[in-house]
Structure formats: C-alpha cells, structure tokens
Chains A and B, each alone.
Chain A
C-alpha cells in the first residue's frame, strides 16, 4: 500500500514536472541570470559586464547579476563557470587569454566546451613608443636592434599572448631585444610613460587615446581603422623579406557552455537576439563611445565569433610554445 502510494506520488510528480520543464524554457528567463566574470572588480572585462548588463536585461526582460571569480590568471573563473549547470542561466565573460590559460593549465578544458554569443572586442597586438622616442618607425627598431643587440627594452605581462609578437621579432627576424616583464598592462603603461622601457607591447585600443604615445606596428592582416598611420608588421616585414607575423591579439568574449546551444537551442537563440538588441541600443553605443571602447567593439554572428575564438586560442597556444621569449 505504502509502496503503491509512493509510486503514485512519483508518477504524479513526474507528470507535473514534465510540462513544467517545458514551460520554464518558453518562459525563459524565469529567474535571474548570472554573468561570471573571470577578473576582479575594476578589471576591463568587469567593466564590460557591468556596463552591458542593464541593456541586456532590458532586451531580455529578466534580471542579470554579475559575479566576479578572479584568480590564477582567469583559470578560477573559467573553471567555476564550466562547473555550473548548463541551463542557460549562467554566462561567462572572459578574455581569450583567460580561456587559453585554462586550456593550458587543466589539460581537460577544450575550446569546444563553449559557444560564443559574441567576441565583443578584438584588439590586435600593437607596439607603442613615446611620442618623442628615437624610433620613428619599426624599421628603426630593427636596424638598431641588429646593430646593438640586447639594448632596446620592451615590456608586457608574461602571461597573455602579446609576448608572441616579440618572440617572432626576436627568433624569426633575428632582432635581439631585451624583455622586462611587467605585472599588468596598466603597469606597462606607467613604465612606458616614465621612460623605463622603450617599447610597450600591448593591444590597439587600450592607450591609443593617450597623449604622448604613438603606435609603431600592429600584428593584424590589415591596418586598424582607428590607427590609420600605424603599419602592420607584415607591411614592414615583407619589404625586408622577413617571415610573416601571425594574427595575434586580445579578445573579450561573451559565451555559454556548448551544451546550452546543443540542448536548448531556443534559449541560446533568445540570449543571442537579446544581446544583439542590447549591443545595438544607441544608449549602449554611447557608453562604449564615452569610455573609449567604440573602435574595438563589434557584433559578429555567434558562429563566426566562435570560429575566430577557437583559431585565436590555438594560435596563442602554438605561438607561445614556438616563440617563447628568453628571460
């Protein structure tokens, strides 16, 4: 008797639960969504998440919370995100460097574990010098670097992939430079402004607005729209018959777990559409403009963004192995 009652209870519960589950999806989102940010409060991707959240909320018609899970170069946040349920209520905002680090350190995480909603920002690796630097062009650096090896200093954090460009110039182009490792990108800016390093290896878009600093070269196929006077490495390299520089740069991505797209395509669709509406919201575009991110931000279709992201991470992992800079 008791057993039958239990069975009935289970069956009834199952009956109730089934349509309930289906309804939850059509009602998506019926509870708050969490954005996991893999950096601390105040970091650039934290700013991106917090600025975007209200516009995305408006387009989606639900609440979005931002949570910071920083540490270990982004590995803590990415791993935390991948452990969350794949019901479409958790979104990851991280940099491609954070994801690359997670792939490298864990050995089990793959780029196919996530699907991108967008790579909202992509900025190619760029070399900067002070306005009054003795290096007018990249050719000047190559010339002096070959004449006086190990004297020109450059700075960048050792993690991340911007060091690859210097590795290519050193090993592929045979120009002996001197690496001064920096704590963060912001610390690299300070070191350049104070004249403690000759070259900052960073990305187009972060300090391009700063007075007293100018770009020397960008590591992309074509020149960057907002830096029309800065040549690509390959323009300079092909003239001198040097090996090609791979496309490298920093991306800031918005993604969900791959199983969300596979199992709940309608939720993924909903999120992506709402995101697109939020991104194109004139008020949000105004925010991007006033905070100096308009030039590097763009909307790409999710599939294209995912492909670009996977290539970027593969290039970074390969490049870091082949063109590791000497300390």
Chain B
C-alpha cells in the first residue's frame, strides 16, 4: 500500500495532469476522423516526446490512447462510421439510438462504459500485472484460435432476412482477407502487384464500406436524427453515463473479456468488443433486442466496457512482455525506445518506478475522461441535428482525407470508394456489409492461428487436447455456438410469426 501511495504521489504534479488533459483532448480529434487511429496519432506525437521525461512520455501516450479510443466511438454512434475495427460494435445500438433522437444518451452510455472499462483495466493492471501477463504466455496457437473463433460467431448473428446470406457474406470477407502474403510466406491473389502484397487495406475498406452507404442513406433524410430530441441533453448525457452501473451484469463480464483479449498479444481490439457484444447478447435478458429497433443502451455497455478495458490489457502486455499487442502499442514501443529503453521482458524490472506510476496514471485518466468526454459530447452530439446537405459533403471530405492520411497511397481512396459502392449494393440486396468487414478484420488472424495450430499438432492432436486451457475454451466455444444458434432460431421463428400475423390481419381486412 505504501508502494501505491508513493506512486500516486509522484503523479501529483501540475505538468502530468496537464499532459493527461491535453492527451485525452487531442486524442479525441483524430479518433473522430475515420481511418486515423492510435498508431498514426502517436507517430505524429513522437518527435515531441524527446523533450519530455520518461514518465511524461508514457503518461502523454497513454492519455492519447484513451482519447483516440473514445473518439472513435463518437463518429460510430453519431454518423454510423466507425473510425476503426474496435468502434464497429458500438454502432449496432449507438447509431440506432442516434437516429431515434437519443444521440446524447448513447454517447453518455458509451462514455460511461469506456471510463468504467478503463478503470477496471487499470485496477487489474495495478494488482495483477505480473501473473496476468504470465498466464497470457500460456495461450498457444490453439487457444488463440478458440478466442478468435468466439468473435467470429458474431457473423452468424448479423443478418437481414436470411441467415444464409449473412454467413455467406462473412465467408466472402474472410476470403478477400486472405489476399496478400500467407502465414507461410507465399503470395496469394496479389496478381503480381506490390500494392496487394499486404492485402486490401482493412481500415480503408472498413471506412469506405460504412461511409458510402451511410452518405447515400443520409441523402434521403434531412437530418440524421429522425425523431426530434426531447428535454435537456446534459441530463440525457448524464443518464446515459449511468448505463454501465444499471447493467453491471453485462458491464463486469464485458470488462473482463476486454481486458483479457487486450492482454493476449497480437489480437486487436475488434476481437474484444465483438466477442463481448455477442456474450452480452446471450447473457442479458434483453439480449434479443440488441442491435434492433431503436437500439439498446445495454448493447453499448457490452462492447464499450470491453473497449475501455482492452487498453489496460494491451498496455500490460507491452510493459510486461515487451510485446506490442497492436499497431498502437507498437508505436508506443517506438516512443519508449526513443527514451532509451531496451524493449523486452526486462523492461518492467528496469523501469519499475516509471511503469508503476504510469499504471496509476491510467486510473486517473479514466476519471479525467469523465468531465472531458462529457464536455466534448455535449457539443458533439449536435452533429445529428446538422442538415444532411452540410453533413454529407463534410463526411465525404473527412473520409477521403482519413483514408489517404493512413498510408499516403492515393489508390487506397479509390479502393475505399469502390468497396463503399459495393457495400451499398450489398445492403440493397440483403447481404450485410458488416459481416464482410468482420470477415476481413478477423480472417487474417484467424488463418494465422489456424496454420500454427495445424503446424504444431498435425498428426498428434492428442497433445492439443492435453492442454486444459484449450479444452476449457473449446467447451466455452461450443456453448456459445449452441446459444447463438438457439437464439437465432428463436428470432427467425418470432419474425415469421409476426409476418404471418400481419398477413392474417391483411387477409381479414381484405375479406
């Protein structure tokens, strides 16, 4: 405890608090721009960090990370354009709520959930950083495969009228995701172009496929918000922020899932939020209503607490193992190297004082995000009241800028727009573009783990089942599979009944 107090004391300085506020605020702006994620933001900040001390650098980068993470949710909710993979899930309910005139409430729910997730993530890091990271090492290829498969299950639940079309679209996404260099180092489907060696740029596709249909849809209405907003938005925001507390039964497991997926090296944030969203659907009594009608705040809680906790988890892996979990933590690693730190498993031991203080800083950031995010949302939610004649060109310009800024490749913009038009066609013909995007996001890592599992256990599968961790995850996967199939079947039956009763009513009216 004295240890912890000491760490807190080292944080109680004006400049560190200033850096946190600056980091969170600045981070939200690129977070809002689709395509520009944490990695780009940190890369842009790198040159300035040489003027800062080690702790200052770490605190600034962590608060940028926090800001970017929440900023991504804002556009996802307000205009239905996720800025990156981890902001996809919050759109399901958040954007529906925004359209129904509850944008402020949805933003509040997202903010509250992210803060809570952040806090839980930091808390776990403070007390359990060592053992957690060591257990993460025990996750081999077969265990990782199961975790990713759990997130892939999400594909089965997103659909229009036909489950078959939904699953087919997901598989098509996975197929397109295989373009590039295979896990074995072979080129596949690149048509001998250098451009396709890394595959289609996933983030550019994602941004294009949500933006273009979104823009077309916005052209049909005068404002994003279909219903007129009632009452004070500050009160609605505050009420929204209470959402994770109202749904603790969803918030706590989701936070733990997010934290855990964050800890696993090389699994991005999109896995955590999709996985916990799907778990939430199955454990919540109102799960059936997630992502339907006017949206459920509990759906936002399910994915956003995971997103918040993911940050703590991936930082833990970076600091304890010296292994970056994603592109954002890789960029942070670069910043630490510039501070003269040797990256690797000895990092924590070498710089324990600074690392411990930075972890406590995460906790303070979760608290600071509440007022900063509140102020931000208080003004930002009004975007949904903007005339679409103003909003649509703005969104288009931001999309092109964001996609181009990501890698500086003009062709990326062409690809994003083309796939965007494809997505619009898909939507019209009842093939959900969302599944295509999830397929691309998860397909690549899914295949990598599949190849490694096969390479490790080919011809000696009994060794794989000898891992208790794998068996546990396999059982978990099978349970989730059965639950998902059951709930989807139930939904189909319900929908059919509603349709039939409508037809009966229509028939009786005709008579």
Measured CB to CB, the residues of A under 8 A from B are 40-43, 46-47, 50-51, 54, 68-69, 71-73, 75-76, 79, 105-106, 150-151, 153, 157-159, 178-183, 186-187, 189-191, 193-197, 207, 209-211, 287, 290-292, 327
> Which residues from chain B contact A194 at a C-beta distance below 8 Å?
137-140
Contacting residues of chain B (136-190) with chain A, CB-CB under 8 angstroms: 137-141, 181, 183-185
Q: Provided the pairs A42-B324, A187-B266, A196-B456 are in contact, do residues A210 and B197 lie with their beta carbons within 8 angstroms?
A: no
Q: Provided the pairs A105-B194, A178-B455, A211-B346 are in contact, do residues A196 and B334 lie with their beta carbons within 8 angstroms?
A: no
In angstroms, Cα B40 to Cα A41, docked, is: 9
In angstroms, Cα B334 to Cα A178, docked, is: 33
A72 to chain B, nearest CB (A): 4
> Which residues from chain A contact B184 at a C-beta distance below 8 Å?
158, 181, 327
In angstroms, Cα B181 to Cα A244, docked, is: 31
Q: Mark B390-420, 1 if CB is under 8 A from A, else 0.
A: 0000000000000000011000000000000
> Which residues from chain B contact A191 at a C-beta distance below 8 Å?
140
In angstroms, Cα B456 to Cα A178, docked, is: 8
Residue of A nearest to B192 (CB): A105
- B181 contacts A73, C-beta separation under 8 Å: yes
Which of B335-343, B380-388, B482-490 is the contact stretch? B335-343
Determine if B62 is an interface residue (Cβ-Cβ < 8 Å): no
List the 7 closest pairs (A to B, CB-CB), nearest first.
A158-B185, A42-B334, A72-B197, A194-B137, A47-B337, A42-B330, A196-B140
In angstroms, Cα B457 to Cα A153, docked, is: 10
- A71 contacts B198, C-beta separation under 8 Å: yes
- A47 contacts B338, C-beta separation under 8 Å: yes
A126 to chain B, nearest CB (A): 15
In angstroms, Cα B330 to Cα A183, docked, is: 14
- A207 contacts B344, C-beta separation under 8 Å: yes
Contacting residues of chain B (105-158) with chain A, CB-CB under 8 angstroms: 137-141
A40 to chain B, nearest CB (A): 7
- A68 contacts B337, C-beta separation under 8 Å: no
- B455 contacts A290, C-beta separation under 8 Å: no
- B346 contacts A209, C-beta separation under 8 Å: yes
Measured CB to CB, the residues of B under 8 A from A are 39, 42-43, 46, 50, 137-141, 181, 183-185, 194, 197-198, 265-266, 321-324, 327, 330-335, 337-338, 340-342, 344-346, 407-408, 448, 451-452, 455-456, 459-460
In angstroms, Cα B39 to Cα A212, docked, is: 31
- A43 contacts B334, C-beta separation under 8 Å: yes
Q: Provided the pairs A159-B185, A209-B346 are in contact, do residues A46 and B455 lie with their beta carbons within 8 angstroms?
A: no
Q: Provided the pairs A46-B334, A186-B324 are in contact, do residues A290 and B342 lie with their beta carbons within 8 angstroms?
A: yes
A164 to chain B, nearest CB (A): 13
- B43 contacts A68, C-beta separation under 8 Å: yes
In angstroms, Cα B329 to Cα A41, docked, is: 10
In angstroms, Cα B324 to Cα A189, docked, is: 12
A22 to chain B, nearest CB (A): 34
- A50 contacts B197, C-beta separation under 8 Å: no
- B337 contacts A179, C-beta separation under 8 Å: no
In angstroms, Cα B469 to Cα A196, docked, is: 13
Given A71-B197, A75-B197, 4 more pairs with CB closer than 8 A: A42-B330, A178-B456, A183-B266, A291-B341
Given B265, B327, B334, B451, which contacts A50 in the complex, CB threshold below 8 Å? B334
In angstroms, Cα B340 to Cα A54, docked, is: 14
B350 to chain A, nearest CB (A): 10
In angstroms, Cα B338 to Cα A181, docked, is: 30
In angstroms, Cα B322 to Cα A183, docked, is: 16
> Which residues from chain B contact A42 at a C-beta distance below 8 Å?
324, 330-335, 337
> Which residues from chain B contact A180 at a C-beta distance below 8 Å?
141, 452, 455-456
> Which residues from chain B contact A153 at a C-beta distance below 8 Å?
455-456
Q: Provided the pairs A42-B332, A181-B452 are in contact, do residues A190 and B137 lie with their beta carbons within 8 angstroms?
A: yes
> Which residues from chain B contact A211 at a C-beta distance below 8 Å?
345-346
> Which residues from chain A contact B321 at a C-beta distance below 8 Å?
190, 193
Given A69, A190, A292, which contacts B265 in the complex, CB threshold below 8 Å? A190
> Which residues from chain B contact A43 at a C-beta distance below 8 Å?
330, 334
Q: Provided the pairs A183-B266, A194-B137 are in contact, do residues A210 and B344 lie with their beta carbons within 8 angstroms?
A: yes
Residue of B nearest to A157 (CB): B185
> Which residues from chain B contact A159 at a C-beta distance below 8 Å?
181, 185
In angstroms, Cα B190 to Cα A71, docked, is: 14
Given B137, B333, B346, which contacts A210 in the complex, CB threshold below 8 Å? B346
- B194 contacts A181, C-beta separation under 8 Å: no
Residue of A nearest to B345 (CB): A210
A149 to chain B, nearest CB (A): 11
- A72 contacts B456, C-beta separation under 8 Å: no
Residue of A nearest to B334 (CB): A42
- B452 contacts A72, C-beta separation under 8 Å: no
> Which residues from chain B contact A150 at a C-beta distance below 8 Å?
459
> Which residues from chain A contact B337 at a C-beta distance below 8 Å?
42, 47, 50-51, 291
In angstroms, Cα B341 to Cα A191, docked, is: 23
In angstroms, Cα B410 to Cα A133, docked, is: 50
Given B50, B265, B324, B342, which contacts A209 in the complex, CB threshold below 8 Å? B342
- B342 contacts A292, C-beta separation under 8 Å: yes
- A179 contacts B345, C-beta separation under 8 Å: no
- A50 contacts B46, C-beta separation under 8 Å: yes
Q: 24 pairs across A/B with beta carbons < 8 Å?
A: A40-B39, A40-B327, A41-B39, A42-B334, A42-B337, A43-B330, A46-B334, A50-B46, A50-B334, A51-B338, A54-B50, A71-B407, A72-B198, A75-B197, A181-B185, A181-B452, A186-B323, A190-B321, A191-B140, A194-B137, A210-B346, A211-B346, A291-B340, A291-B342
> Which residues from chain B contact A157 at a C-beta distance below 8 Å?
185
A284 to chain B, nearest CB (A): 11
> Which residues from chain A contact B333 at a C-beta distance below 8 Å?
42
In angstroms, Cα B452 to Cα A190, docked, is: 14
Residue of A nearest to B340 (CB): A290
> Which residues from chain B contact A189 at a C-beta distance below 8 Å?
323, 344
> Which residues from chain B contact A290 at a C-beta distance below 8 Å?
340, 342
In angstroms, Cα B448 to Cα A76, docked, is: 23
